[in-house]
Structure 1
């Protein structure tokens, strides 16, 4: 039997839940991206393991897209692609020169989410990356 004390559970009835006015895109690398990282980075084995285990969540403007859809990926893929490339190699000369939405879709799994519930008691903080 464990000596750990159980954590108190806050139920939705005791705490006011709120949503934030954003949609989210969850980005997970596919093999094509990981192969590019392997060719572009000296620390590839360790970095690839880290990248396989993690996803990146991008918050996008919410609303006005119809049927609760997330914003069209074509409006944001270039910025997301560059951020993901930076994670694989900071050397921009190694980046693919002709990056398209089709290539982005071949390199990453993308899932859009429209309901984001904020469970934190503190205000959101923006840190520049």
Structure 2
């Protein structure tokens, strides 16, 4: 069974804080099943964006959420990330956006990240 988006986001915020990072809910989406986008802002003023992974990246029967790095994991100017997120909101108004600020650009997703 998959946990709700809201519960997953709150657990992720705690994970980031426990590891010494800072994270906020930049946009609250659908409580039950909204897609979750993770934006990581680095000290060099570039950002990374992690988007929900395609269904092919999921293990059969696993309820774990997974993410893929956008732009092959390359850091982009904040304006490019803002533009992409604006397009995503236009496509699906129920998305969550979690903003992470970490000097080293850590995403705190661990093994939930696909390549």
State the TM-score, normalized to the length of structure 1: 0.25
Q: Which has the higher strand share?
A: 2
In our comparison, the structure showing a higher alpha carbon Rg is 1
